[in-house]
């Protein structure tokens, strides 16, 4: 074990005594403050309103939404793509940084992995909400119907189901594995129900070297596998669009374009969550400016990559001058959707490039401001991808249409953001949001 | 059945533990009779207390098995009630490749998790007679299983290596 240094410098919390780290990171689990209740009560009310909106849709049918011929994909599909994108925060950040042994990842990984699981849970709800008859969702399962007809395995929608199931399973296990040693330490908690919970979930972990070796091996392997799954999931979400010969959708770069956008929005989500838990849980010593600075640099890189893909996508369409594509191109950049398009470019590139690119302006606050902008921008990007194409279909026989989300769609969308807050607050009360055992530098890192 | 005595040595220093393991191995103690307990992963020099693993192989085999099974299932289902495909093949790897890929990855994930549970011994039947030390922060415990009657020598080796305390526990 490393000996304690004489003086801990700010930004070096990993050099604190292990007992102190443990105490600081386990403290937020105990006690329920008024601030916590207030933080959870308001989103709960929003969720209740969202549930009422959904019940209205279930009772009265899809007519209560703004979906009309020919625009049959609207906010729900935008939400689906958005949340699946956010889910890339955890797995990709955590897996990439874990595989590359980047030591600054340590306070970030669990927060990121939890985002993945919750965002997937929320994102996975939207295809079911979009079905209208949500109680028929099991028709997607691979079993024959009453006429012995199997689902069409060539359908990208069935690919989605398979990919999301694989991703959820992998992400839950990826979150759970490094939680085991922390839960074993928490097994002596004062509250009896917590003791029972942590004992059951820690599976009798003793801290033997056999267990540690198995855990570290499993985490390395899992990181590699989950990375491949995460990339495939958003590629498949992109293929939901690009497999259709619809204007501005049938593009070969849609897969990587979506993956880049997903990582971009995921990073922004992570930045906001980290800033919130830092403030609410008093973890200023552990989530330092250094971590936010590194995240800001990653955001900046993704912002530039996003702009590159957006330009490549639009320039190719413009140069091709295909009449049906040019109608959508014009709608996006010059007419009906131009404001949304240019606002998207502004908040996804201009704002982050200014706030995070200029060193003097880069701080935790500006990082959070830029991240909120990016989340808005990425939501608009998905809207810009989905709606203008469906409003201007390729076939001349199909009339063009106009889409405006109804209050039901907006309420359900807002409720999912509230849902994310509630899930995160509950998680952070049950489990340490920073992996305690991973926090200390290990021997190999000392040698490096 | 030969009597088993457990020795538990408490250390405060990683290097002292490494010395203890080195001298015990030199005295003929096998790796399977040694266990370290710590609150965080402990990296000893390579070759000292290596525990070979087949987790990667399990991942590959699990991936191949699940991917293969999923592909066979899709092939069977597509042929069980063939859809009208307008002359295109009823089953094609292009069309079902995504499902094969995702199920392959899921197979790998599940095998890694299953193998972790097995290899770490978390879900296997443990030797209930083996004492499990409570490990406070900044401490390391080395547990040694002595199957013969000679306990004094390994005990001395632990003390020589720098154990602050050595406990002796007979098997129940």
pLDDT band at residue A9 under the 50/70/90 scheme: low
Question: Which band of pLDDT confidence, cut at 50, 70 and 90, is reported for residue A15?
Answer: low
Confidence of residue A93 (pLDDT cuts 50, 70, 90): confident
Residue B104 to residue B126: CA distance in whole angstroms: 32
Q: How far apart are the CA of B45 and the nearest CA of chain A, in angstroms?
A: 10
In this complex, the residue of A153, A208, A213 whose CB is nearest that of residue B74 is A153
Question: In 3-state terms, what secondary structure has residue B11?
Answer: strand
- Binary contact (B122, A153; C-beta < 8 A): no
Q: What is the DSSP letter of A143?
A: S
CA gap B110, A148 in Å, rounded: 30
Mean pLDDT of chain A: 88
Region A129-147: mean pLDDT is: 84
Nearest to A221 among B13, B56, B126 (CB): B56
pLDDT, one tens digit per residue, over A149-164 is 788 888 888 899 899 9
Burial (CB count <10 Å: 0-12, 13-18, 19+), residue A152: middle
State yes or no: pLDDT of B40 exceeds 90.
Answer: no
- Would the pLDDT of A117 be above 90? yes
Mean pLDDT value of segment B141-167: 83
Collapsed DSSP state (helix, strand, coil) of residue A2: coil
Residue B140, CA distances (Å) to A139, A210, A442, B40 in order: 54, 14, 14, 9
Bridge partner list, A153: none
Measuring CA to CA, how many Å separate B109 from each of A30, B60, B73? 33, 10, 20
Of B116, B105, B96, B93, the closest CA to residue B65 belongs to B105
The predicted model gives B153-172 an average pLDDT of 81
B133 token code pair: 């030390």
- Judged by CB atoms closer than 8 Å, whether chains meet at A166 and B109 is answered as yes
Is A5 in CB contact (< 8 Å) with chain B? no
Min Cα distance B168 → chain A (Å) is 18
**Residue of A150, A205, A442 with shortest CB distance to B77:** A150
A19 contacts B113? CB cut-off 8 A:
no
Residues 110 to 169 of B: which have CB under 8 A from any A CB? 110, 112-113, 115-117, 119-123, 126, 132, 135, 137-140, 143
d(CA A35, CA B34): 49
> Which residues of A fall within a CB distance of 8 Å from B143?
208
In angstroms, what CA-CA distances link A187 with A199, A212, A242, A427, B1? 5, 18, 50, 17, 35
Kindly report the CA angle at B102 between B100 and B107, in degrees rounded to 5? Answer: 90
Give how far Cα A446 sits from Cα of A243, A440, A442, B8, B170, Å: 50, 10, 6, 28, 38
Residue range A424-446, pLDDT digits in tens: 999 999 999 888 887 765 544 44
- Give per-residue pLDDT as tens, A174-213: 999 999 999 998 887 778 888 899 999 999 898 899 999 9
* H/E stretch holding A373: helix A364-391
Res A25: pLDDT: 84
Residue of higher predicted confidence among B151 and A232: A232
pLDDT in tens, B52-70: 899 999 999 999 999 999 9
Instruction: Please tell me which of the candidates A22, A209, A232 has its beta carbon nearest to residue B49.
Output: A209
The pLDDT of residue A397 is: 64
- Chain A contact set for B123 (CB, 8 A): 203
Q: Does the interface ipTM go beyond 0.95?
A: no
Please indicate if any CB of chain A lies within 8 Å of the CB of B83. Answer: yes
Q: Which of A18, A153, A444 shows the shortest C-beta gap to B43?
A: A444
* pLDDT at B1 exceeding the cut of 70: no
Task: Say which residues have a Cβ less than 8 Å from residue B96's Cβ, sequence separation at least 6.
Answer: A153, A154, B71, B74, B75, B78
**Which residues between 317 and 376 in chain A have a beta carbon less than 8 angstroms from any beta carbon of chain B?**
none
- Give the model's pLDDT for residue A448: 33
What does the block give as tokens for B105? 């990855």
A247 phi, psi to nearest 5 deg: -60, 135
Average pLDDT over residues B76-102: 87
- Higher pLDDT: A173 or A289? It is A173
């Amino acid at each position: 074990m490393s000996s304690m240094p004489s003086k801990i410098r700010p930004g070096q919390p990993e050099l604190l005594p292990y007992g102190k780290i443990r105490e600081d990171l386990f403290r937020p689990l105990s006690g329920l403050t008024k601030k916590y209740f207030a933080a959870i009560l308001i989103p709960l009310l929003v969720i209740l309103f969202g549930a009422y909106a959904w019940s209205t849709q279930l009772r009265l049918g899809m007519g209560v939404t703004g979906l009309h011929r020919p625009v049959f994909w609207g906010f729900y599909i935008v939400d689906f793509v958005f949340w699946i994108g956010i889910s890339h925060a955890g797995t990709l950040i955590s897996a990439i940084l874990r595989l590359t042994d980047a030591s600054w990842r340590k306070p970030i990984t669990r927060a990121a992995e939890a985002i993945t699981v919750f965002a997937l849970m929320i994102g996975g709800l939207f295809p079911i909400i979009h079905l209208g008859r949500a109680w028929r969702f099991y028709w997607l399962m691979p079993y024959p119907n009453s006429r012995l007809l199997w689902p069409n395995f060539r359908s990208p929608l069935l690919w989605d189901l398979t990919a999301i199931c694989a991703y959820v399973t992998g992400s839950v296990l990826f979150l759970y594995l490094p939680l085991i040693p922390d839960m074993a330490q928490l097994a002596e908690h004062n509250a009896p129900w917590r003791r029972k919970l942590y004992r059951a979930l820690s599976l009798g972990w003793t801290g033997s070297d056999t267990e540690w070796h198995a855990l570290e091996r499993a985490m390395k392997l899992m990181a590699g596998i989950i990375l491949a799954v995460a990339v495939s999931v958003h590629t498949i979400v992109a293929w939901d669009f690009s497999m259709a010969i619809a204007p501005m959708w049938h593009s070969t770069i849609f897969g990587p374009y979506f993956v880049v956008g997903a990582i971009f929005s995921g990073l922004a989500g992570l930045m906001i969550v980290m800033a919130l838990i830092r403030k609410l849980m008093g973890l200023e010593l552990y989530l330092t400016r250094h971590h936010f600075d590194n995240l800001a640099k990653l955001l900046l890189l993704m912002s530039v990559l996003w702009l590159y893909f957006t330009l490549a996508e639009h320039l190719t369409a413009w140069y091709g001058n295909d009449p049906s594509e040019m109608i959508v191109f014009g709608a996006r950049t010059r007419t009906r959707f131009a404001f949304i398009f240019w606002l998207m470019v502004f908040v996804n590139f201009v704002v982050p490039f200014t706030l995070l690119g200029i060193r003097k302006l880069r701080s935790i606050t500006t990082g959070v401001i830029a991240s909120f902008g990016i989340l808005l921008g990425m939501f608009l990007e998905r809207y810009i991808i989905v709606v203008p194409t469906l409003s201007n279909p390729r076939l001349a026989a199909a009339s063009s249409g106009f889409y405006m989300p109804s209050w039901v769609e907006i309420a359900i969308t807002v409720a999912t953001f509230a849902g994310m807050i509630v899930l995160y607050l509950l998680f952070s009360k049950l489990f340490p949001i920073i992996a305690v055992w991973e926090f200390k530098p290990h021997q190999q890192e000392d040698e490096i | 059945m030969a009597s088993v005595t457990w020795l538990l040595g408490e250390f405060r220093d990683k290097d002292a533990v490494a010395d203890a393991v080195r001298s015990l191995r030199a005295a003929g103690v096998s790796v399977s009779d040694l266990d370290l307990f710590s609150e965080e992963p402990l990296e000893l020099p390579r070759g000292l207390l290596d525990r070979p693993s087949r987790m990667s192989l399990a991942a590959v085999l699990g991936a191949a098995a699940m991917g293969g099974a999923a592909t066979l299932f899709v092939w069977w289902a597509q042929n069980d009630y063939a859809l009208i495909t307008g002359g295109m093949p009823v089953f094609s790897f292009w069309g079902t490749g995504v499902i094969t890929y995702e199920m392959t990855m899921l197979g790998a994930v599940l095998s890694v998790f299953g193998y972790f549970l097995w290899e770490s011994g978390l879900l296997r039947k443990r030797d209930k007679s083996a004492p499990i030390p409570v490990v406070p922060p900044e401490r390391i415990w080395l547990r040694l299983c002595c199957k013969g009657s000679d306990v004094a020598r390994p005990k001395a080796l632990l003390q020589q290596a720098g154990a602050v305390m050595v406990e002796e526990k007979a098997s129940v």
